[in-house]
Amino acid sequence: MRIELKPFRDESPEDWSHFVKECDEAWVFHTASFIDAFPYDFSFSIRIDGSIRGICVMGRVRRRSGAYFVGPGMALSAAAKNATVYGVLRTKLKDLAVSAGCQGAEFTLSPMAPAHFSKKFADSILYQFSFSEGARWRKSWETLPGFFSVIDLGLDVTQIIRGFSKGNKASVSRCKKLGLGLEVQTGQNTNRESWQDFVTIHRQTYRRSNGEPFSDERLDHLFLLVQSGHMALVNGIENGICVSSLLLATDKSGAFYYAGGAFDDARQKGIMAWTHSEAIRWLKENGYKRYCLGFTITALEGTVGGAIGDSKNRFGGNKWPMLCGDLILRPASFFIFQMAPEIVHLFLRVH
């Protein structure tokens, strides 16, 4: 068995796209377009005897006082799931960590990839690679597991809305009386005006929450993803004006709520709940089977940090295990740059 690890930039675009399309562990987040949008500069393929049998998609970000690899991680075909390939991959990750100055990797597998439907962490590729379950949060030594909220679109829309929280059901009912309109765009006919409505709402939503909106470059790449049909833009219209917007990643009969928001007065009317309910209706009509609203870190439920996750729970649906894991690639560096400062700080507080 001849194994070759090839950087994404040196890989055949056609071969990469074909693998993502055919592999049940790969999804939109593994596509070349997403790699360009983030960018996931450290992505590479796993070729076995000349053919792509796996890919690893990741980029470098600053985390606390160090750096980490993050991304959707590995997608492997059956031919790549053996001890020899695993050993080569571990060595590659460690070598890249040294060259990039990273302490570890945190991968979140897409819940909409067919191979990951409702899968337990212990059955995932992350567990086989000795990742710790969950994302690192607040303290460097703690990893917090969570779950994805996934709506079964095989149910009737009325049944789905019945599973909403009392507040969201009231919002949907109230907004139906406002005469709102819905505009959904995906593919080559997506226009710049509707996209600019999303951009405006996205930036205002992040300013309201003191967050950091997407860069202009990333927004341009995301627009191309909508035009390519990998994403759908769902805009809520009131009196001819776009007041709410959802950006959905779509592939392999699944949809993922990627970003969105509403003007403040529209949000207070509950228009976001209505927009999601109409997006659900559109997804059903277009043959989608599952709609993932995002993740919730269980330990943060009810806190300020868990507010976004709490909002997902108000739409009901199923709770799928969050296939997110953390792997320390350079233990000494991790301790020096991340754990040691926190231990010293804790010691000084106690004394």
pLDDT at 232 over 90: yes
Q: Of the ranges 178-182, 217-221, 339-343, which one carries the lowest mean pLDDT score?
A: 339-343
pLDDT at 244 over 80: yes
Which tops the pLDDT comparison, 160 or 348? 160
The pLDDT, as a whole number, for residue 193 is 95
Structure tokens at 239: 């009196």
Structure tokens at 348: 């000084």
pLDDT at 254 over 60: yes
321 strand-pairing partners = 147
Q: What is the enclosing helix (H) or strand (E) of 74? A: strand 66-76
pLDDT at 339 over 80: no
| Distance between CA atoms of residues 19 and 164, nearest Å | 37
The pLDDT, as a whole number, for residue 337 is 78
Contacts of 141 (CB under 8 A, 6+ apart): 339, 342
Domains of the chain: 3-143+323-350 (3.40.630.30), 149-321 (3.40.630.30)
Mean pLDDT, to the nearest integer, of 221-238?
Answer: 96
Closest Cα partner for 101 from 65, 74, 57?
A: 65
* pTM for the model: 0.92
pLDDT at 54 over 90: yes
The pLDDT, as a whole number, for residue 246 is 98
Q: Of the ranges 77-91, 111-125, 325-339, which one carries the lowest mean pLDDT score?
A: 325-339
pLDDT at 62 over 70: yes
| Distance between CA atoms of residues 233 and 251, nearest Å | 14
Under the banding of pLDDT at 50, 70 and 90, the label for residue 72 is very high
pLDDT at 38 over 90: no
The per-residue pLDDT of the chain, averaged, comes to 93
The pLDDT, as a whole number, for residue 6 is 97
Q: For the segment 290-338, what is each residue's pLDDT rounded down to a tens digit?
A: 999 999 998 887 776 677 778 888 999 999 999 999 999 999 888 887 7
pLDDT at 234 over 80: yes
Mean pLDDT, to the nearest integer, of 244-272?
Answer: 96
Q: For the segment 91-109, what is each residue's pLDDT rounded down to a tens digit?
A: 999 999 999 999 999 999 9
Contacts of 92 (CB under 8 A, 6+ apart): 5, 44, 56
Q: Of the ranges 104-108, 208-212, 242-246, 290-294, which one carries the lowest mean pLDDT score?
A: 208-212
pLDDT at 350 over 70: no
Closest Cα partner for 317 from 279, 342, 344, 290?
A: 290
238 strand-pairing partners = 241
The one-letter amino acid at 53:
R
The pLDDT, as a whole number, for residue 168 is 96
Percent of the chain at pLDDT above 90?
A: 81
> Alpha carbon of 88 to those of 32, 93, 136, 173, 265: distances in Å?
23, 9, 26, 55, 54
Give residue 84's region: left, alpha or beta (phi > 0; psi -120 to 50): alpha
The pLDDT, as a whole number, for residue 351 is 56
Q: Of the ranges 27-41, 62-76, 240-254, 303-317, which one carries the lowest mean pLDDT score?
A: 303-317
Mean pLDDT, to the nearest integer, of 36-56?
Answer: 96
The one-letter amino acid at 294:
G
